Amino acid sequence: MIHNYNITQDLLNILESVMDPEIPVLNVVDLGVIRDVVVDGKDITIKLTPTYSGCPAMDVIGDDLERAFTALGYTTHIQLIMSPPWTTDWITDRGRKALEDYGIAAPLEESADKDVLLNEKKLVKCTNCGSKNTKLVSQFGSTACKAMFQCEDCLEPFDYFKCLK
Amino acid sequence: MKQPIKELNPKFLESTQNKEHLINYLLGVADNYLILGQRLGELCGHGPNLEPDIALTNISLDMLGQVRSFYQYIAQLRGDKSTEDDIAFLRKEREYKNVLLLEQPNTDFGYVIVRQFFFDVYNKMFLNALQQSADETLRALAFKGIKEASYHERFSGDWLKRLGDGTEESRSRVQEAVNDLWIYTDELFQTTTADDAMIEAGVAPDMSAFRDTYYEKVKELLTIATLDIPEVAYFQKGGKEGLHSEHMGFILTEMQYMQRAYPDSKW
């Protein structure tokens, strides 16, 4: 998804300063949750699509956005957009790289993701040594969006960001 | 997203009765997620080992996420000052419309898994069908929820097989759970007056059409898990009408404690 908001670079910088509280290297633009930003004088409406329905990070993201823009004198409105639902395809390339650098394997394509999570195929690349000789440790991880993996070569345990489509 | 069976007449919700029926229908759906979410939340830090502990609380979080969207929609329909929190925390026992299955206690890991599996199979079929609702909001919620529901079914189904086809001890305990919880399954397919009105309007899927498929799927997996399929002549019901088992009061006491002790408290 191409992120093209009709806002000034200054405002975009503010947007990009707001991070996912649970993955503090990924900003909300790269996470792909900002659908639209409408500026009307000192009034700003940010349209947000939640990732996982129960993700506690969403409330924090809403609050953080509000705080960031209110500090600049804006009246901030956060609007939740449920449809179409968020997918991991909306994470930008820059976001995927930030994930990998942080030690979280970025989501694979849908079919590969199924092979990995359900059929235990070895396709996820270790974020430490790059080997694909990795195994699924748990389908569920520390947050709703992740599963737990371990590299069988360098033994590094790491998170994998599950594909959501 | 699938195409709606029919589009809702924009004037549909102008009728007070239609709106009332829709709210009651939504409560029936949403309360299932709330009560199951609460039950699973009780297991946080008490799972048999780390993996299922994390999984069950992840599922609990998905349930609570689902329920928030439904309650927000109900609050919006009501158009008064009620919020998702009021709906979750300030009702009395008789006003909850969840099925009896989901309020049954976490007797042991076998019960937790069987309860989950019986619901997951239903929930996946339900959300799949709800994607064709005449109501746009419900279509969106269903589309989002089904991705999570499929993952849940996979988890509970896998564990059911593992426990059933496991040791003598695990098999006998999970069989006991199946026998005890079986009588609550039929209630999933019962409809209230509000449900019937929403089925008629194309807002709600007619789940009775899925009853046979449901039992086929459940029985198929029980067979793979080498478990016996219970034969019962009588199914328990009442939850959807607000008539709950003795467990419900205890759930609400714990769940509502903060709002009752400190009214209007916020995070």
For B173-219, how does the pLDDT look when each residue is reduced to its tens digit (9 = 90+)? 999 999 999 999 999 999 999 999 999 999 999 999 999 999 999 99
Q: Flag whether pLDDT at A1 surpasses 60.
A: no
In a domain, B49, yes or no: yes
Q: Collect all residues from A whose CB is shorter than 8 A from any CB in B.
A: 50, 52-56, 82-85, 118, 137-142, 144, 164-165
Q: A-chain residues within 8 Å CB-CB of B152?
A: none
pLDDT beyond 80 at B66 = yes
Q: Is the per-residue pLDDT at A2 higher than 70?
A: no
Chain B residue with Cα closest to A114:
B151
> How many angstroms separate the CA of residue B103 from the nearest CA in chain A?
20
Find, in chain B, the residue whose alpha carbon is nearest to that of A49: B144
Beta carbons of A108 and A83 less than 8 angstroms apart: no
Q: How far apart are the first and last CA of chain B?
A: 35
Q: Residue B1: what pLDDT?
A: 59
pLDDT, one tens digit per residue, over A38-52 is 999 999 999 999 888
Given a cut of 90, is residue A3 above it in pLDDT? no
Domain at B114, CATH number: 1.20.1260.10
Integer Cα distance of B259 and B108 in angstroms: 29
Which of A82, A86, A115, A137 should one mutate to test binding to chain B, selecting the residue with the greatest count of B CBs within 10 A? A82
Residues in chain B: 267
Q: Which residues of A touch B151 (CB under 8 A)?
A: 139
In contact, B230 and B179? CB cutoff 8 Å:
yes
Q: Is residue B167 part of a domain?
A: yes
Res B19 pLDDT > 90: yes
Please say whether the beta carbons of B122 and B261 come within 8 A.
Answer: no
Q: Provide the pairing of β-strand A75-80 with A43-48.
A: parallel
pLDDT digits (tens, 9 = 90+) for B222-246: 999 999 999 998 999 999 999 999 9
CA distance A141 to A158: 10
> Residue B121 and residue B130: Cα distance in Å, rounded?
14
Mean of pLDDT over chain B: 94
| Dihedral in degrees, nearest 10, Cα atoms B9, B14, B15, B16 | 140
Mean pLDDT of B38-65: 93
Cβ A144–B58 below 8 Å, yes or no?
yes
The whole-angstrom distance between A107's CA and the closest CA on chain B is: 15
CB atoms within 10 A of CB B123: 25
DSSP-derived secondary structure for B10-48: TTGGGSHHHHHHHHHHHHHHHHHHHHHHHHHHTTTTTSS
Could you identify the residue written with the tokens 């993201």? A61
- Of B51, B65, B151, Cβ closest to residue A138: B51
Nearest CB partner across the interface for B62, out of A54, A138, A142: A54
Decide if B190 is inside a domain: yes
Nearest to A52 among B54, B65, B155 (CB): B65
Largest CA distance in chain B: 60
The amino acid that residue B147 corresponds to is K
Strand pairing category for A146-151 and A134-138: antiparallel
Per-residue DSSP letter, B243: -
Of the candidates A53, A55, A142, the beta carbon closest to that of B145 is on A53
Q: How many domains does chain B have?
A: 1
Q: Looking at the domain assignment, is residue B10 inside a domain?
A: no
pLDDT value at B6 more than 80: no
- pLDDT tens digits along B97-149: 999 999 999 999 999 999 999 999 999 999 999 999 999 999 989 988 888 89
Query: What are the tens digits of pLDDT across the range A49-103?
Result: 988 877 888 889 999 999 999 999 999 999 988 888 889 999 999 999 999 999 9
| Average pLDDT over every residue of A27-44 | 94
Contacts 24+ apart (CB under 8 A), A89-94: A89/A1, A89/A32, A89/A165, A90/A1, A90/A31, A90/A32, A90/A33, A91/A26, A91/A30, A91/A31, A91/A32, A91/A161, A92/A3, A92/A29, A92/A30, A92/A32, A94/A30
The range of the structural domain enclosing residue B164 comes to 15-261
Of B65, B139, B155, the CB nearest to A139: B155
State mean pLDDT over B156-162.
Answer: 96
Strands A157-161 and A104-105: parallel
State the pTM of this model: 0.88
Residue B135 has a pLDDT of: 94
Q: Is residue B55 part of a domain?
A: yes
**Domain for residue B2, yes or no?**
no
Helix, strand, or coil here: A27?
strand
A6 — pLDDT class (breaks 50, 70, 90): confident
Looking at every residue in chain A, the average pLDDT score rounds to 90
Name all domains of chain A by residue range, CATH numbers in brackets. 9-90 (3.30.300.130), 103-161 (2.20.25)
Is the pLDDT reported for residue A111 higher than 70?
Answer: yes
Residue B140 to residue A85, Cβ atoms within 8 A: yes
Residue B266 covered by a domain: no
Q: Where are the alpha helices (H) located in chain B, listed in sequence order?
A: 16-41, 50-78, 84-89, 100-103, 109-130, 136-164, 168-181, 193-200, 211-224, 247-261
Region for B141 from its dihedrals, namely left if φ exceeds 0, alpha if ψ lies in -120 to 50, beta otherwise: alpha
Q: Identify whether B26 is part of a domain.
A: yes
Residue of B nearest to A53 (CA): B65
- For position B267, what pLDDT does the model report? 63
DSSP of B76-89: HHH-SS--HHHHHH
